[in-house]
Amino acid sequence: MACDPGQRRALVTGATGYIGSHLVKFLVDSGWQTSIVIRPGSDLGCLDELQNRIEILVHDGTVAGMVKLVASSRPDTVFHLASLFLAQHRSEDIDTLVTSNVLFATQLVEAMATAGCGRLINVGTSWQHYANDGYNPVNLYAATKQAFDDILRYYVEATPIKAVTLTLFDSYGPNDPRRKLLSLLRDAAMHGTRLQMSPGDQLIDLVYIDDMIAAFLCAASLLPVPDRAHMRYRVSSGEPVNLRQLVATIERVTGKTLAIDWGGRPYRPREVMLPFCPHPPLPGWAPSISLDQGIARVMFGAS
């Protein structure tokens, strides 16, 4: 990949994921020289034709390997999106969860510090703030996110690394391979599948994928900061809806009635009824796609 000295250089982890692949596309289309860090078995299918416009770096799982990758790509901004999400873990998930969400991330910031790369965009989850607490993890996934946040504290205190952590609630958009709620509801609307749902009073804060990507770019523009090494912001639609309202929106947009047995299954353990994040909203960013517009794009694929 030829390097224009005036070009900005990004290193993206989690680039094969839903948000990460959209971020990579946006960065490449905006002229960033973009490298991605993947695992040996990562499926690059979602990056399609982008694959020959980016540098693909395969991490061997070691610190030394990560140091080499970061030193060779010399990014000015690292977007760290890689993560394993598990709503509820099993004992056999522990190693993978800690490897993905703590070890890999720590290797990354160690490599950044070694290579003198000073800007990090990190991602947290509102699930670190169960019951409106400053810290109270909904599940072990959220606890591992917090564990890395604590580790990052050391790096921003002791090295030149500066970071913005974006705390996300939920994201959605077309062609989402994640088996998330909206995919189930979409299938229910398109194929008439009957769904067993909880009573449906929990609020959901959904940000459309294009707006989410804009938030990452906005965060990158905030670095470097002279006075604060680690800034945390929330990325919220500002208009959470409950599950029943979400279904009503889908029914209005599609003109179809969904077959849902409300209360057919219980709430999850530690279900988040009221999404919360103590951090301020991301300055200079606001969502531009309404829920109705976003749902129409998900249902009918229009852009």
Ligand X SMILES: NC(=O)c1ccc[n+]([C@@H]2O[C@H](COP(=O)([O-])OP(=O)(O)OC[C@H]3O[C@@H](n4cnc5c(N)ncnc54)[C@H](OP(=O)(O)O)[C@@H]3O)[C@@H](O)[C@H]2O)c1
Integer CA distances (angstroms), 293 to 27, 189, 268, in order = 24, 16, 29
Choices 7-15, 152-160, 216-224, 269-277 (CB under 6 A): range interacting with ligand X: 7-15
Question: Is 39 an interacting residue with respect to ligand X (CB under 6 A)?
Answer: yes
- Point out the residue whose Cβ comes nearest to ligand X: 17
**Between 63 and 84, CB nearer to ligand X:** 84
**Between 178 and 194, CB nearer to ligand X:** 178
Count of chain residues binding ligand X (CB under 6 A): 26
**Between 176 and 251, CB nearer to ligand X:** 176
Q: 34 pairs with which residues across the strands? A: 10
Question: Is 19 an interacting residue with respect to ligand X (CB under 6 A)?
Answer: yes
Q: Which of 104, 155, 208, 276 is the binder for ligand X (CB under 6 A)?
A: 104
Question: Is 237 an interacting residue with respect to ligand X (CB under 6 A)?
Answer: no
Residue 5 Cβ vs ligand X, minimum distance, rounded to whole Å: 29
**Between 14 and 294, CB nearer to ligand X:** 14
**Between 21 and 254, CB nearer to ligand X:** 21
Task: At 58, give phi and psi (nearest 5°).
Answer: -100, 120
Question: Is 267 an interacting residue with respect to ligand X (CB under 6 A)?
Answer: no
Q: Write a three-state SS string for the chain.
A: CCCCCCCCEEEEECCCCHHHHHHHHHHHHCCCEEEEEECCCCCCHHHHHHHHHCEEEECCCCHHHHHHHHHHHCCCEEEECCCCCCCCCCHHHHHHHHHHHHHHHHHHHHHHHHHCCCEEEEEEEHHHEHHHCCCECCCHHHHHHHHHHHHHHHHHHHCCCEEEEEEECEEECCCCCCCCHHHHHHHHHHHCCCEEECCCCCEECEEEHHHHHHHHHHHHHCCCCCCCCEEEEEECCCCCEEHHHHHHHHHHHHCCCCCEEECCCCCCCCCCCCCCCCCCECCCCCCCCCHHHHHHHHHHCCC
Question: Is 147 an interacting residue with respect to ligand X (CB under 6 A)?
Answer: no
Q: What's the CA gap between 260 and 59, in Å, rounded?
A: 44
Residues 150 to 169 in contact with ligand X, rule: CB under 6 A: 168
Question: Is 182 an interacting residue with respect to ligand X (CB under 6 A)?
Answer: no
Question: Is 183 an interacting residue with respect to ligand X (CB under 6 A)?
Answer: no
Task: At 187, give phi and psi (nearest 5°).
Answer: -60, -40
Residues 55 to 84 in contact with ligand X, rule: CB under 6 A: 81-84
Question: Is 16 an interacting residue with respect to ligand X (CB under 6 A)?
Answer: yes
Q: Which of 43, 48, 239, 271 is the binder for ligand X (CB under 6 A)?
A: 43
Residue 226 Cβ vs ligand X, minimum distance, rounded to whole Å: 27
Question: Is 130 an interacting residue with respect to ligand X (CB under 6 A)?
Answer: no
**Between 96 and 257, CB nearer to ligand X:** 96
Residue 149 Cβ vs ligand X, minimum distance, rounded to whole Å: 12
Q: What residue ranges bind ligand X (CB under 6 A)?
A: 13-20, 38-39, 42-43, 81-85, 99-100, 104, 123, 125, 168, 170-171, 178
